[in-house]
Amino acid sequence: MEQQLVDDIMAARAGALAAVVAPGDGRLAARERVARICDPGSFQEYGVLAQGRAGGEVVPADGLVGGTARIHGEPAVVVSYDVQAAGGTQAPINQAKLERLAFIAAEHGWPFVCFADGQGDRTAGQAPSIGLWLGGGSGRIGLFDGLCELSGAAPSIAIVSGEALDGHAAIAMFSECVIATRGSALGTSEGSSLAVEVHETRGDIDILVDDEPATIDAARRYLSYFVQELPGGDPSPAAERIGEIVPENRRRAYDMRRVIDAIADEGSVLELRRGWGPSLITSLVRMGGRAVGVFANQPNSRIVGAIDAAASDKMARFIELCDAYGIPLVSLIDSPGFYIGQEAERDGIARHHVRTLAAIEHREVPLYCVQIRKAYGLGPLVMRGSWGHLPPDLRLAWPTVETGGMSLEGAAYLAKRKEILAAKTPEEALAIRDAYANTLRERESGVRAGQNFSFDDIIHPAETRDRIIAALQLSPRTRRAQKKTYIDTV
């Protein structure tokens, strides 16, 4: 082989690899991002010599670095726009690279990670890239086709640490998980981008962190639940105090996150969409090393754990995500049921609550339920599923359990309406209500619930973790050869 040809290629490659620099605002260069998220030495870049043009200037790598790699030892595709190269704008060469890699990810079912910062389409005066580049550069699949094919088959993650505009924002919204830094933004180049803090309250952001290195840590951690099973895990120190979490006064709230911390392996809790639908918590955790999805009512919220429209969508989407990837589910129940009233109706609870019921019924993964305190109305059904298609594998309750068609106080108002209306003082009316409610509570106490076989067992709170781990060990995780469905990004 002619040495000059080899030297020319090597020199061109060296120049291309050296051309991508850091933005200078605390963020990493495109290749630094990629190197940090991949297992050391595993990244194989595609299109090192590819280049585009902007304003008559050469754009190294055409503003996008991408290739194949391993993350936690498993194959993955990783791409990063380069905001130092024409603002990381989208153009024919880099879009062809991206579509090529999206095709590889979809073809093999490999996770797809995209650092999605960028300023939209490079060609001024034309439609943004979301319209220009739907066709596949490979001739077989386009970028958004690829992301749709991946959904439910392999995890897709978008990372935003600056601005993601137009087509870049579309990549984020097509992805199953969006990780963003505070102060970054999503939207259009027409001046309608919004800070991710606003997007977080609308369910658009799964994980919000402080800086770019934290996004990389979060992305690796998120992927670990989908590609790794560990041989075991130590309990959290919080496990020793689990019996102290629920107050003796049943009207006092508590933070359900403390219960999740107490049953999960130490340091294993990764909460998703924390800023949206705050009456429900959704977290990926490990229990005895196994990846588990926990969805839990939050009594310490404004609506005391009731399930409103946002919580309905949040729960349904999380159940679909875990079900698609064979991750068992744990539900922690303490809810007065669905949120009702004019506010709830304006938010569309009549339509949104059905999606939650459908998701819990259509799942195929095991479900382990723990009722901690109250569950009224449709609350028990939506949190544990029915006894029909696929009942929960294990249904436990704590001694503080309360179940009924409505709140016990509400039932007392109906049953003792005449006596309450005839009371001479408000104090007397409350006493009548509370006395009857207490009678109902004793009738439906934990002991009675166990005797009536309303639950598989009524347990001490300290038993919760071990009982769920024992059940998990009987159900090895299985992954489908083909995806079951796509994951709704709502």
**CA-closest candidate to residue 314, choices 256, 356, 372:** 356
If asked whether residues 210 and 315 sit together in one domain, one would say no
What's the CATH code of the domain at 237? 3.90.226.10
Tell whether 411 is covered by a domain.
no
Q: State the Rg of the chain over Cα.
A: 26
Q: How many helices (H) and strands (E) does the chain have?
A: 18, 20
Count of the separate structural domains present in the chain: 2
Tell whether 108 is covered by a domain.
yes
Q: Which helix (H) or strand (E) holds 18?
A: helix 3-19
Q: First and final CA of the chain: distance in angstroms?
A: 56
If asked whether residues 205 and 328 sit together in one domain, one would say no
Residue-range definition of the domain harbouring residue 202: 3-226
Taking only the tens place, the pLDDT of each residue in 124-177 is 544 444 433 444 444 456 777 778 888 888 999 999 999 999 889 999 999 999
Q: How far apart are CA 189 and CA 323, in angstroms?
A: 36
If asked whether residues 246 and 181 sit together in one domain, one would say no
Q: What is the pTM of this model?
A: 0.88
If asked whether residues 119 and 241 sit together in one domain, one would say no
Tell whether 244 is covered by a domain.
yes
> ∠190-151-360 over CA atoms, to 5°?
110
If asked whether residues 219 and 241 sit together in one domain, one would say no
Q: Which helix (H) or strand (E) holds 330?
A: strand 329-335
Pair of tokens at residue 162: 């600056």
If asked whether residues 26 and 127 sit together in one domain, one would say yes
Q: Is residue 420 classed as helix, strand or coil in its secondary structure? A: helix
For residue 420, is pLDDT > 50?
yes
Mean pLDDT of 440-467: 80
Taking only the tens place, the pLDDT of each residue in 296-334 is 999 999 998 999 999 999 999 999 999 999 999 999 999
> ∠193-34-77 over CA atoms, to 5°?
90
If asked whether residues 277 and 306 sit together in one domain, one would say yes
If asked whether residues 12 and 46 sit together in one domain, one would say yes
Q: Which of 209, 226, 243 is the last residue of a domain?
A: 226
If asked whether residues 87 and 216 sit together in one domain, one would say yes
